[in-house]
Structure 1
Amino acid sequence: MTSSTLNVTLHFAEITDLPAIQDIINDARDFLADQKIDQWQNGYPEPDVIANDIKRGETVALKDDEGTILAIASLVKGLDQPYEAIIDGDWRVKGTTNNYVSIHRVAMAKASRGHHLTHDFFDLMKEQIAADSDIESIRIDTHPENFGMQHVIETNGFDYIGLVPVVGGRPDETNVAYDLVLDRG
Structure 2
Amino acid sequence: MEIRLAQREDSDSILKIIQQAQTYLREQNIPQWQNGYPNMDTVIQDIESNRNYVMWDESKIVGTCMLSFDRDPYYEVIEGKWLADEPYVVIHRIAIDTTVKGKGLAASFFKFAELQAKEKGVNYMRIDTHELNQSMRKCIEKNGFKECGIVYVMDHAPRIGYEREI
CA distance in structure 2 between the partners assigned to 1:32 and 1:160 by the alignment: 21
CA distance in structure 2 between the partners assigned to 1:120 and 1:73 by the alignment: 11
- What's the CA shift for 1:126? 2.0
C-alpha RMSD of the superposition: 1.3
CA distance in structure 2 between the partners assigned to 1:50 and 1:143 by the alignment: 20
Aligned residues: 166
Is 1:147 aligned to residue 101 of structure 2?
Answer: no
Structure 1 residue ranges (4+ consecutive) displaced by more than 6 angstroms after TM superposition: none
One-letter code of the match for 2:153? V
What are the within-5 Å matches in structure 2 for residues 15-26 of structure 1? 15-26=8-19
CA distance in structure 2 between the partners assigned to 1:117 and 1:38 by the alignment: 23
Other structure's SS at 1:111 match: coil
Q: Which residue of 2 aligns with 1:92?
A: 83
- What's the CA shift for 1:29? 0.2
Of the candidates 95, 120, 139, which is equivalent to residue 107 of structure 1? 95
Identity, % of aligned positions: 33
Per-residue CA deviations over 1:40-94 (Å, capped at 9, x if unaligned) read: 011111211111111010011111123x11111100111111100111x111221
Of the candidates 55, 68, 71, which is equivalent to residue 79 of structure 1? 71
CA distance in structure 1 between the partners assigned to 2:77 and 2:144 by the alignment: 23
Q: Which residue of 2 aligns with 1:158?
A: 145
Per-residue CA deviations over 1:2-37 (Å, capped at 9, x if unaligned) read: xxxxxx111010111000000001000001111110
What are the within-5 Å matches in structure 2 for residues 1-185 of structure 1? 8-66=1-59, 68-87=60-79, 89-95=80-86, 99-133=87-121, 135-169=122-156, 173-182=157-166
CA distance in structure 2 between the partners assigned to 1:101 and 1:120 by the alignment: 15
Q: Contact between 2:56 and 2:62, CA under 8 Å: does it hold in 1?
A: yes
CA distance in structure 1 between the partners assigned to 2:67 and 2:154 by the alignment: 16
TM-score (norm 2): 0.94
CA distance in structure 2 between the partners assigned to 1:61 and 1:130 by the alignment: 20
